[in-house]
Chains A and B, each alone.
Chain A
Amino acid sequence: MLRATLKSLLARKLRLILSGLAVVLGVMFVAGAFVVTDTLSKSFDSLFASAYSTTDVGVTAKPKVAVSEFEGEEVVTPLPASALAQVRGVPGVKSAAGLVDADGARVIGSDGKVLTSVGPPRIGSAWAGTDDLVQLREGRGPTADDEFVVNATVAKAAGIKVGDRVGVLTLEPKKEFKLVGIYGYSGDRDSLGGVQEVAFTEPVAQKLMLGQTGVYSSVRVQAEPGVTPEALRDRIAATLGDGYVTKTGDQLVADTSADLQAGLGFFTNILLGFAGVALFVGIFLILNTFSIIVAQRTRELALMRALGASRRQMIGSVLVEAVVIGLIASVLGLAAGVGVGALLAYLFNSFAGGGMQLGTVGVPLTAIISSFVVGVLVTVVAAVLPALRASRIAPVAAMQDVATPDRPLTKVSVAGGVVTAAGATGLGLGLFADMGDATLWTILAGVLVSFIGIALLTPLISRPVVSAIGRLFSWSLPGRLGRLNSGRNPRRTAITAAALMVGIALVTGVTVVMDSAKASLKAEAATILKAEVVISGDQNGPRPPTYDPAVLRDTAKIPGVRAVAGLWNDQVTINGENHYVNATDNLAGLKDAFGNTAVGTPSTLRDDQLAVSVPEAQDYGWQVGTKLTIQPARGDPREYTIAAVYPEDSLPGSYVLPVAAAKDFGITQPTMGFVRLADGYAVSQVLPQVKALLADSPEVSAQDAQAFVDEQAATFDTLITMIQILLALAILIAVLGVINTLALSVLERTRELGLLRAVGLGRAQTMRMVTVEAVVISVFGALLGVVVGAGMGTAVTRALKSDGITELVLPWERMGTYLVLAALVGVIAAVLPAIRAARLNVLGAIAHD
């Protein structure tokens, strides 16, 4: 039995490869996710081992506001010189160096633009001379206050050379420095893990990066011989007391590396998402292939039954086939995954990591185990139904000429209806009921189950819809034949189309939600934002873009400007909880910019007052006069009194503080600005002058309100594009399914094709016939996808109504594009089968049995 199974497997290599490919892709992403994570982790470990090679114990001050990896950058709390002196006094300390380095030194390149970063920080530090790690490549270290050096990554990216005068943005607005040297790292590295680093003299670095002179960001301690780092760490910690974090070099390596790896988790999740979609769609493909194989082998299987094979053996034979395919696909997927993982690690390193020495490619055991489990499981699950069908073949079928007719679709349709209803219920529960933490999973499960249900219903729908779509092509004979062929096997057509449906439904659904969100944002912005000119910039790194506050003062002087308000923002703790807050230098101007709807709010805030939005005040039971303790990123906590409670959206955000509070923010410069014009002035009269004032603040620009809103809304377009790219994979796999189905159909209809060719159907016409069949299937799948996706998108959008997505936009244009693309996909999928059909030897085909 096993031998017979394996033999028949070999005989059908091509179609098994096609269907197995989906599993290969899925497994590839699973394995790739593990491999890239492992490889990068090992590389991070060795990177930080190198960076901390001269550190036995490291000391930092506890951050005032703890910020998680996803919320942004933690602000370094400066460590006073007194702490450094204390450390030096601890017995066992051989040397203790006060270091200055903090994120936020943004170099302006020779093209006038700020160097961006996709992840690694842009560090400003105090030059500590060369050592085993840091090596000057050119020039010398900085000695004067207006001199600085940069690492080779910065020099290359900015296109600057020794002797140039270079602008740098720090806690302070743009300042110019003379570049006196360029340095690299041991092993001829341009950077450590892609970090862009610049170094000033110590006092300058302290002032610009930490906000005051005489403080350090950390202390690097070397132990005397015979003193273990752990012992020394404990001694230092005891000496310094609370308020400091003391770690050994090994701990620092582990913790810093772990932080970065937490960032990689996002990456891993994307890859696993890919894998999930690929495998889900792959199940349809495999199911289809096995069904077709079983149908084609009906006589062979019936003969086996007639010869005494039991039902169990029939099921076994199909499942063994599935296991073998699953194993092969897993092996291939694992191999491809190692390749993809290594490639991703390399790409990540080159573009986001820059210059890290990649460790050897790591293939953790988890990668291998999960590859095989996933690959085999998915294949076997997909083969269960066909296996059952095989077992139901009656022995008498061996003697009958005709294949057993398709069973009626009623049972499947009823099952489909039930499953769809269950899925829709899950989706509805997730969206509209309060499910707490389970919400996301309920929605996902609902979507998944709905897909399966709809896939079951597809054969029923396929008859009328396919014939309707087909009519579009019926004007020519090949078109008509193609249409008829696509309607011949509703189940097969349906499953093929359903695979395509999944990808397109997801894209469409997300597009509906995104477009609705975008429209809602625009509509809301139009009603609440009254400022004619907005100063803002693209966030191109972990920290927001900023500009020189002097611009605000100068803008106010432009004729025609009625009011200008700057906006600072940061995370602080309020009564011990983290919150985003805004600060402004001109509350009256800010109110004006939002249409003067903040009723009851004074026009200025005293330095110890703040304004809170109504919902926030209600949540916490606060009112005017309540006192709040606010701890900003720097300095000491302060008490503020609520001076006003403003209606939501009448001022930006939930908290507005006076500008005085911003001097202790992590970023002490404004990130946005709003300008209101006096009556009778046009934007065109004022905007150029504001732009001119921003010449030295290259991170931001000024634009009219409409352009600003459009720009904000455009982020949704970027998101949509990204999701379209992600889901293109699902569609690609579905295309494999269309190719597979067509190839099988062509094979099955060899004799028909021969007859057609004999009575004069030309090669081109034959190809057209096959192409029409593919296009009809694809368009059917896309149509289903668009309808289902629009439905799901609408449901999600409606569910988010209370979260601010008030508009519902059905993106007809995009949906039309998806349909057109599907038709194109059909044409592409048809190429190979069509060529095969056209090349058919007429005589051989007629003789074919």
Chain B
Amino acid sequence: MTTTDSREPAAARAGEVWKVYGTGEARVVALRGVSAEFERGRFTAIMGPSGSGKSTLMHCLAGLDTVDRGEVHVGGTKITGMGDKALTRLRRDRVGFIFQQFNLLPTLSAQENIRLPLDIAGRKPDPQWWDIVIDTVGLRDRLSHRPSQLSGGQQQRVACARALIGRPDVIFADEPTGNLDSRSGAEILSFLRASVREHNQTIVMVTHDPVAASYADRVVFLADGAIVDELTGPTPETVLDMMKRLDTHAEPVML
């Protein structure tokens, strides 16, 4: 029974966020006044053509990058203007990450990689939650393996487990299935969705794949640095439709 309490802050929120790279000739406006809310316990996908600013938006939301104008909140906390120390702690304690590739430390075993954020913080995992996470990602018999001994899909599952283990306010995933075959990709997406449904996790996922986006509860469409539309309860077909429309819609803008 999760009715959205209007006073409970969103897991992450961008308000009028601008991001500009470079100057002069090389000036690129990656985000032009993006405002978006990502509610708790929801799986949101950010979609858009390549170069539309998806990754930039995610990096700004996650405190990996600074914004030029506007504000970003994670939970109830305004992170815009925070120093490196505070941002590092925020990422460590309240944010989880899944990158497209190179997610794991080659020197550590799967188990150690999963525990990494907790170890950095000097915390112990909750054993019950640990078991749940490990069983969800199905890695129990692979825990002592090094990343080099795991397949790409397994590695990405380890990265998911790592993101989940600290029960962060929000998990950001940037094209988590981009490097995987469709079966491994589907596995990952299924338990990302499961962790939202069953454990009330909040996930924001960047993707350009309509099938991946259809696993989400809601899809936000980005084009040329601005949010142009959104969709709730997406299916691959509705997402593809929307994308097609955006492409034709975007063309005059691109001129």
Contacts and interface: CB of A to CB of B under 8 A. Distances in A.
A846 B93 contact: no
A762 B59 contact: no
Contacts of A676: none
7 contacts: A481-B107, A488-B107, A751-B102, A758-B99, A759-B117, A762-B88, A763-B85
A755 B84 contact: no
A751 B59 CA distance: 16
What are the nearest 4 A-B pairs in CB distance? Answer: A760-B92, A484-B107, A477-B119, A760-B91
B97 interface: yes
A755 B106 CA distance: 11
A760 B121 contact: yes
B88 A761 contact: yes
Nearest to A838: B84
A759 B85 contact: no
Nearest to A766: B88
Given A484-B107, A760-B121, A762-B89, 9 more contacts: A477-B122, A481-B107, A751-B102, A756-B120, A758-B97, A759-B91, A759-B116, A760-B120, A762-B85
B105 A846 contact: no
Interface in A803-849: 842-843, 846
A359 B89 CA distance: 65
Contacts of B116: 477, 756, 759
Nearest to B95: A760
B99 A759 contact: no
Interface of A: 477, 481, 484-485, 488, 751-752, 755-763, 765, 842-843, 846
B105 A756 contact: yes
B108 interface: yes
A765 B120 contact: yes
Contacts, number: 62
B42 interface: no
A759 B104 CA distance: 11
Contact of A758 (B64, B85, B104, B119): B64
Contacts of B64: 758, 842-843, 846
A751 B104 CA distance: 10
Contact of B97 (A481, A751, A752, A759): A759
B103 interface: yes
A755 B88 CA distance: 12
A755 B120 contact: no
Contacts of B85: 762-763
B113 to A, nearest CB: 10
B162 interface: yes
Contacts of A759: 91-92, 97, 116-117, 120, 162
B99 A846 contact: yes
B65 interface: yes
A488 B105 CA distance: 12
B35 to A, nearest CB: 22
Interface in B101-135: 102-108, 116-117, 119-122
A757 B88 contact: yes
Contacts of B97: 758-759
Contacts of B122: 477
Nearest to B115: A477
Contacts of A485: 107
Given A760-B92, A761-B120, A762-B85, A484 B108 contact: yes
Contacts of B107: 481, 484-485, 488
Most buried by B among A485, A488, A760, A843: A760
B99 A755 contact: yes
B89 A843 contact: no
B89 A760 contact: yes
Contacts of A843: 59, 64-65
A755 B102 contact: yes
Given A755-B105, A846-B99, A763 B84 contact: yes
Contacts of A488: 107
A845 to B, nearest CB: 10
A752 B101 CA distance: 11
Q: Which of B65, B92, B121 has the most CB of A within 10 A?
A: B92
Contacts of B117: 759-760
B58 to A, nearest CB: 11
B65 A846 contact: no
Interface in B53-71: 59, 64-65
A765 B84 CA distance: 13
A759 B107 CA distance: 16
A308 B23 CA distance: 42
A765 B121 CA distance: 10
Interface in B24-62: 59
Contacts of A756: 105, 116, 120
Contacts of B120: 477, 756, 759-762, 765
Contacts of A481: 105, 107-108
A727 B88 CA distance: 43
Contacts of A765: 120
B103 A755 contact: yes
A752 B59 contact: no
Nearest to A751: B102
Contacts of B119: 477
Contacts of B91: 758-760
B239 to A, nearest CB: 27
Contacts of B105: 481, 752, 755-756
A760 B64 CA distance: 10
A604 to B, nearest CB: 82
A766 to B, nearest CB: 10
A759 B64 CA distance: 10
A488 B108 CA distance: 11
Contacts of A757: 88
A485 B119 CA distance: 17
A728 B10 CA distance: 61
A272 B89 CA distance: 54
A756 B99 CA distance: 12
A754 to B, nearest CB: 9
B88 to A, nearest CB: 5
Contacts of A763: 84-85, 88
Contacts of B103: 755
A755 B116 CA distance: 11
A783 B97 CA distance: 41
Nearest to B90: A760
B223 to A, nearest CB: 22
A181 B98 CA distance: 91
A765 B120 CA distance: 8
B76 to A, nearest CB: 19
Contacts of B162: 759
B112 to A, nearest CB: 9
Q: Which of B64, B65, B106, B121 neighbours the largest number of chain A CB atoms within 10 Å of its CB?
A: B64
A802 B172 CA distance: 76
A762 B92 CA distance: 9
Contacts of B121: 760
Nearest to A484: B107
Contacts of B89: 760, 762
Nearest to A758: B97
Contacts of A751: 102
A756 B112 CA distance: 13
A762 B93 CA distance: 12
A485 to B, nearest CB: 7
A475 to B, nearest CB: 11
Nearest to B121: A760
Q: Which of A751, A757, A759, A842 has the most CB of B within 10 A?
A: A759
B101 to A, nearest CB: 9
B178 to A, nearest CB: 14
Contacts of A755: 99, 102-105
A763 B117 CA distance: 14
Nearest to B162: A759
A477 B65 CA distance: 25
B51 to A, nearest CB: 14
A842 B88 CA distance: 10
A484 B106 CA distance: 10
A416 to B, nearest CB: 26
